[in-house]
Structure 1
Amino acid sequence: MRRLLLALAAISWVTSIPALGGDEGPPLGPVELLYLEDCAPCHGVTGAGDGVLVYKLRTKPPDFTSGRYKFRTTAQGEPPLREDVFRSITQGVATTPMLPQAQLSEHEAWLLADYLLGLIRRPRGDDAPELLQVADAPPRTDETMSRGKGLYQQMECPRCHGDRGYGDGPSAFSQTDAQGRSIQPRDLSYRPRKTGDRVEDLYRVFVTGLAGTPMPSFGDALAERDRWALAHYVDGLGVDEYERGPLQSIGEEAVGLEIATRAAAALAARGGIRPPPE
């Protein structure tokens, strides 16, 4: 019955959420309501990436229950830090429906981050994941770019991303994610990037990989010097900006805006979650 209530809340997009619960079971908690308002339309009631709006999305939502997070600052195979999840909530993911959730207070964003981490179903070790420290990028030089170009070929990046980074390599159209859904490699020639537009962001991806996708970690395969060279070279491929549409959109932001608008209205009508008194 409780799962049925959650499903009904997600489908109705929560205009009547405060009335749900009643005599049929315990009422939904404030963080559960927050999740249903902000996340469930895309990510699903249980967080499995199977929300009611998935059919509208080119960028498919991840399965939170698997613990595989693309955008994190932890080693390959490790779950994300709270800070990683908080950052995705508050900063969003460029070109996707995942907008910065500006309707949330900082306290609410942290509560939601903890809720998402609680959805992970696989066993988690006793030790907290270790933060990956990324130093400032070394200067870009002709030697660095030449070395990076060679590494781009050596690591077989063109198989997916193409020789010029257009995402049109021979394997580009046969890629699937961990859920078996068809995905396409990133066109590296365009900005902004989902992972961030700094060289340091690319370096981090080369160390961590993108969990749940075919993009591997190069943490063990390349020395630090080579990872920086490859990051500089790939960064140099980003020479174009996405054409902006209405409201400066460059991807699927319109879908995210629709969800965020409804969620903000529900949150305003119900009242936010206040932090505990100090």
Structure 2
Amino acid sequence: MFPLLTRARLMLILAIAASASTNGCSTNEAEFRQNLVYVKAQEKTLKSEINPRQLQDVDNVLVAFFGTPDDPRVPQVGDETADLLSQSRLEMAAGAVSSNEQGKPQGLYREHCAHCHGVTGDGAGPTAEFLNPYPRDYRMGVFKFKSTPKGEKPTHEDLRQILVNGIPGTAMPSFKLLPEDELESLIQYVQYLAIRGEVERALIYECANELDRDDRLVDFDAAETDRETYNEQVEYVTSIVADTMQRWVDAESKAVPVPARPEPADLAASIAHGRELFYGPIANCVKCHGDSALGDGQKNDFDDWTKDWTVKIGIDPNKAESGEEIEHFIAAGAFEPRNIHPRNLRQGVYRGGRRPLDLYWRVKNGIDGTPMPGVLMKPEGAGPDAQGLSPADLWDLINYVRQLPYEELSETGLRKPNFQRDRL
């Protein structure tokens, strides 16, 4: 149960949001795009359209909790999540690019991020379609490179590392030269957009799968005619927002600890053992990364952002006969499906970071949003015959992966590409 003051304040905000949606907004104001791709995916599963009035309820609730791109709002849903986002940080990142009277910058997200990730955080900015890989769509709340297990949110430090280091091999640059307060504002704004997107998806799912067609997500008229029903509706949507935010709070305690990296007495033996694991049945890295570790083990899979509106609802992007359905989703805002290729480990380019602990997290946790699984680990205290890798095994595997770029097979290709003429 949420505090009475919070609930009363939320009811007022919801009423204002409903009024604003009825009266319309200035065409000069930036707007968050509705997640039409997810709407269409739910409608395909249902084999019927979601009631437009319910989708308007979704928009009204989102404005009530999260505000607009020019006027963001921190959702007030309880003490447990009160410190997750800062209103002043969001205001520094949101809005048009400008500065205040003290010279403090505003509109940081649109200045640095929106051209790729879009104002909504949907990964559909003006340059996005021309980039490979596509920029991240935050709205699923899924991030690839992090210290937490698959299915968990990234920590604050995980997001900071991405901003500071960029993502090698992609269009994502480093922002390490930004002042600390600007970095912090961007981190929180990315969290804000991700939370908003997750809540939007949850509300759309609710309308599609839990409500009857004539039901209302939040019936604003009922505030006067059926207060009990209205209160229950407000409480329910508040719980969805609170649960979503709580998962981000909980992530801070879920980073996987990395044991000290042992200094092997015989590095060559460690690498040799790592090679056995790479090609062996437990780690089985060869299945995707290929016999030569060039990333050519399989090339027909897709990431979870693509599967969300294709494979998950019965569309196979690899089949030509799926073309018409795919075009239907592209018209709603999706991008042309692209296969996700395993990393070419001989290049020595590690998108999630090249530090040993980064590689430890990638192998142990897997990579969220991709087919890359976490490796099977032996339970703590298990005997030598137990299935899985020990921490020492995992470090041997990492030692092998880290030396792959320096093998003769790798060096031959790097030393003299076949398109490069000898210099005089």
Same fold (TM over 0.5): yes
2:261 alignment counterpart: 137
Amino acid at match of 1:101: F
| Structure 1 residue corresponding to 2:164, chosen from 79, 90, 95 | 90
Counterpart in the other structure of 2:372: 215
User: How much does 1:150 deviate?
Assistant: 1.7
1:174 aligns with 2:300: yes
1:21-57 deviation line (CA, Å, top 9, x unaligned):
xxxx894543112112211111122212222212211
In the alignment, which residue of structure 2 is the partner of 1:262?
none
Opposite residue 89 of structure 1, the aligned amino acid is L
Within 1, Cα distance between the matches of 2:263 and 2:129? 44
Structure 2 unpaired stretches of 5+: 1-24, 33-67, 72-90, 95-106, 200-243, 307-336, 378-387, 415-424
Aligned counterpart in structure 2 of residue 234 of structure 1, from 368, 393, 401: 401
Q: Which has the larger displacement, 210-219 or 116-125?
A: 116-125
Alignment of 1:95-244 (within 5 A): 95-102=169-176, 104-120=178-194, 121=198, 123=244, 124-125=246-247, 127-129=250-252, 130-140=254-264, 141-153=267-279, 154=281, 155-169=283-297, 171=298, 173-180=299-306, 181=337, 182-218=339-375, 220=377, 221-239=388-406
> In structure 1, how many angstroms separate the alpha carbons of the residues matched to 2:347 and 2:113?
27
Any conservation in 2 of the 1:136–1:200 contact (CA below 8 Å)? no
Q: 1:53 to 1:151 in 2, by over 3 A?
A: same
Structure-2 separation of matches of 1:202 and 1:219: 15
Residue by residue, what CA displacement relative to the aligned partner does 1:221-243 show, whole Å, maximum 9, x if unpaired?
53212211211111121225897
CA distance in 2, matches of 1:136, 1:177: 32
Question: 1:166, CA displacement in angstroms?
Answer: 0.7
Name the CA distance, whole Å, in 2 between partners of 1:184 and 1:2.
Answer: 44
Runs of 5+ in structure 1 lacking a partner?
9-24, 244-278
- 1:29-48 pair list within 5 angstroms: 29-32=91-94, 33-48=107-122
1:6 counterpart = 2:30: yes
Which residue identity is paired with 2:30? L
TM-superposed deviation, 1:188: 0.2
Among 119, 124, 144, which residue is 1:70 paired with? 144
Q: CA deviation at 1:89?
A: 0.9
Q: Compared with structure 1, are the counterparts of its residues 223 and 7 closer, same or farther at alpha carbon in structure 2 (3 Å cutoff)?
A: same
Q: Normalising by structure 2, report the TM-score.
A: 0.48
Cα deviations across residues 77-106 of structure 1 (Å, max 9, x unaligned)? 111111111111122111221111245211
Is the Cα–Cα contact under 8 Å of residues 154 and 251 in structure 2 kept in the other structure? Answer: no
Q: Call closer, same or farther: CA 1:112–1:3 in 2, change over 3 Å.
A: farther
Aligned length: 225
Q: CA 1:202–1:64 in structure 2 vs 1: closer, same or farther (change >3 Å)?
A: same
Asked if the contact 1:164–1:237 (Cα under 8 Å) also holds between the matched residues in 2, the reply is no
Q: Which moved more, 1:34-43 or 1:232-241?
A: 232-241
Corresponding residue of 2:39? none
Match for residue 57 of structure 1 among 125, 128, 131: 131
Cα distance, 1:5 vs. partner? Answer: 3.2
Please state how far the C-alpha of 1:113 moved relative to its aligned partner.
Answer: 0.4
Per-residue displacement from partner, 1:207-258 (whole Å, max 9, x unpaired)? 2211111111125453212211211111121225897xxxxxxxxxxxxxxx
Structure number with larger C-alpha Rg: 2
- Determine the C-alpha separation between the residues in 1 that align with 2:364 and 2:29: 41
Q: Which has the higher helix share?
A: 2
Question: Could you say what the CA RMSD is over the residues aligned between the two structures, in angstroms?
Answer: 2.7
Distance 1:216 1:73 in 2: 14
Percent identity (aligned) = 32
Mean Cα deviation higher: 201-210 or 114-123: 114-123
Gap change, CA 1:48 and 1:223, over 3 Å in 2: farther
User: In 2, Cα distance between the equivalents of 1:79 and 1:26?
Assistant: 23
